[in-house]
């Protein structure tokens, strides 16, 4: 299985996804700023994966701190938290991972700094391990919606590469295949960054899951021909009411599904659900530079000085979503709040 990120000999090793599928190369980060750069420049991307990267980045940064008392140590961590938090605004997983580490530290403030440093490494690795387990659970819940012979459309990459491994949106597909179901995947290429063409197609081909690549414009025509049975996508942040922020174009795909009576599922680890946000309107939406639209692989494809609007994410309102598949079970968007209660119980 592809491992987009791991802790390796005191450093963070990440697959440089910006080079895929042409080149499989790894970047070794020995500094938290390099990890932050990797998140910002999309060497690593995908909500769960950047949550893991955030945790590993903090753990990495912590190792270099030369203070003794807890308070000084915790204070010295603040610029590291800030640098990593400021990389990308839409995915909640960075916040989630950092909050988890903060809580861990605060509840262990009696330990010495060296022990805390080791604790951070362990916790980052635990987040990675749990992520893979979470995805397998999502896969089991989600595979129930996939029938033998189904064709599933997905947008962007919510696959192994977007996570610690196994993927979120791809998990139900992987489980369906393990169950012996014959499936086909349609991968939207997902402009502007082409995660579908570069990443989803690549990882599914590697795992011998049949995949066909289309331009984002083609989804509607295939639905009209009756060639798509269901859609499964990932999410960068899901609000308490079930509104889902995900890669730009997800909203359009959901509307197309509604218009054609095709079920539209969101695979969402609970780490990507932000219960503090009542609805999608409150999710910060990242806008990125024009060059992602005007250039592809360094080649200019649009006129010089053209005005560009490059919104990286959109919000799909809960009403378009058939169900949200989490590791704790499948929920109607309106019932998502119940997970919070489940969490308290656990």
Query: CA separation (Å) from 102 to 122, 125, 235, 247?
Result: 14, 16, 24, 28
Cβ pair 323, 330 in contact under 8 A: yes
> What is the smallest separation between the CB atom of 230 and a second copy, expressed in angstroms?
18
Please list every residue from 16 through 45 that binds a second copy, using CB under 8 A: 21-22
Among 81, 251, 265, 331, binds a second copy (CB under 8 A): 251
Torsion of Cα atoms, 28 then 32 then 38 then 39, to 10°: 140
Shorter beta-carbon distance to a second copy: residue 179 or 252: 252
Cα–Cα distance for residue pair 175/209, rounded to 1 Å: 11
Among 298, 341, 344, 346, binds a second copy (CB under 8 A): 298
- The answer to whether 216 contacts a second copy (rule: CB under 8 A) is yes
> What is the smallest separation between the CB atom of 314 and a second copy, expressed in angstroms?
4
Cβ pair 142, 170 in contact under 8 A: no
- The answer to whether 139 contacts a second copy (rule: CB under 8 A) is no
Among 94, 211, 266, 283, binds a second copy (CB under 8 A): 211
Instruction: Tell me which residue of 37, 20, 88, 51 sits closest to 28, measured CA to CA.
Output: 37
Structure letter (DSSP) for residue 165: S
Shorter beta-carbon distance to a second copy: residue 73 or 202: 202
Shorter beta-carbon distance to a second copy: residue 210 or 284: 210
Among 134, 160, 294, 326, binds a second copy (CB under 8 A): 294
Instruction: Tell me which residue of 38, 45, 131, 28 sits closest to 91, measured CA to CA.
Output: 45
Among 127, 256, 267, 321, binds a second copy (CB under 8 A): 256
**Strand 184-188, strand 211-214: pairing:** parallel
Among 33, 65, 119, 255, binds a second copy (CB under 8 A): 255
In 3-state terms, what secondary structure has residue 296?
strand
- The answer to whether 289 contacts a second copy (rule: CB under 8 A) is no
- The answer to whether 119 contacts a second copy (rule: CB under 8 A) is no
**Strand 299-300, strand 237-239: pairing:** unpaired
Among 303, 341, 344, 345, binds a second copy (CB under 8 A): 303
> What is the smallest separation between the CB atom of 329 and a second copy, expressed in angstroms?
29
Burial 271-291 (b: 16+ CB within 10 A, else e): bbbbeebeebeebebbebebe
**Strand 313-316, strand 244-247: pairing:** antiparallel
Shorter beta-carbon distance to a second copy: residue 139 or 192: 192
Shorter beta-carbon distance to a second copy: residue 65 or 293: 293
- The answer to whether 308 contacts a second copy (rule: CB under 8 A) is yes
> What is the smallest separation between the CB atom of 287 and a second copy, expressed in angstroms?
10
**Strand 299-300, strand 295-296: pairing:** antiparallel
The reply to whether omega before 21 is within 30° of 0 (cis) is yes
Binding track over 167-196 against a second copy, x by CB under 8 A: -------------------x--xxxx-x--
Catalytic residue IDs: 236
186, two tokens: 């349609």
> What is the smallest separation between the CB atom of 187 and a second copy, expressed in angstroms?
9
Cα–Cα distance for residue pair 217/208, rounded to 1 Å: 25
- The answer to whether 236 contacts a second copy (rule: CB under 8 A) is no
Interface with a second copy (CB under 8 A): 21-22, 186, 189-192, 194, 197-198, 201-202, 205, 210-222, 224, 247-249, 251-252, 255-256, 258-259, 293-294, 296-311, 314-315
């Amino acid at each position: 299985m592809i491992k987009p990120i791991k802790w390796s000999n005191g450093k963070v090793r990440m697959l440089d996804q910006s080079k895929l599928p042409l080149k499989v190369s790894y970047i070794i980060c020995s500094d938290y700023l390099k990890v932050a750069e990797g998140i910002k420049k999309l060497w690593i991307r995908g909500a769960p994966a950047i949550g893991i990267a955030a945790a590993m980045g903090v753990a990495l940064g912590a190792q270099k701190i030369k203070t003794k008392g807890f308070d000084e140590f915790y204070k010295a961590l603040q610029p590291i938290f800030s640098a990593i938090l400021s990389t990308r605004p839409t995915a909640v997983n960075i916040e989630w991972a950092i909050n988890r580490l903060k809580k861990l530290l605060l509840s262990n403030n009696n330990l010495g700094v060296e022990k805390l440093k080791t604790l951070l490494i362990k916790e980052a690795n635990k987040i990675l391990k749990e992520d893979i387990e979470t995805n397998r659970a999502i896969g089991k819940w989600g595979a129930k919606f996939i029938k033998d012979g189904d064709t599933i459309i997905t947008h962007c990459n919510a696959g192994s590469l977007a996570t610690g491994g196994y993927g979120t949106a791809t998990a139900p597909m992987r489980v369906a295949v393990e169950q012996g179901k014959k499936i086909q995947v349609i991968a939207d290429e997902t402009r502007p960054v082409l995660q579908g063409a570069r990443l989803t197609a690549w990882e599914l081909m590697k795992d011998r899951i049949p995949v066909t690549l289309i331009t984002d414009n083609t989804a509607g025509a295939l639905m009209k021909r009756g060639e798509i049975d269901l859609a499964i996508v990932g999410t960068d942040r899901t609000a308490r009411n079930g509104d889902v922020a995900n890669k730009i174009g997800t909203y359009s795909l959901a509307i197309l599904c509604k218009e054609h009576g095709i079920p539209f599922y969101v695979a969402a680890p609970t780490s990507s659900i932000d219960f503090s946000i009542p609805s999608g309107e409150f999710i910060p939406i990242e806008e990125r530079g024009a060059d992602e639209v005007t250039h592809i692989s360094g080649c200019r494809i649009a006129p010089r000085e053209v005005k560009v609007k490059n919104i990286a994410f959109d919000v799909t309102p809960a009403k378009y979503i058939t169900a949200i598949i989490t590791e704790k079970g499948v929920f109607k968007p309106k019932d998502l709040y119940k997970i919070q209660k489940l969490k308290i119980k656990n």
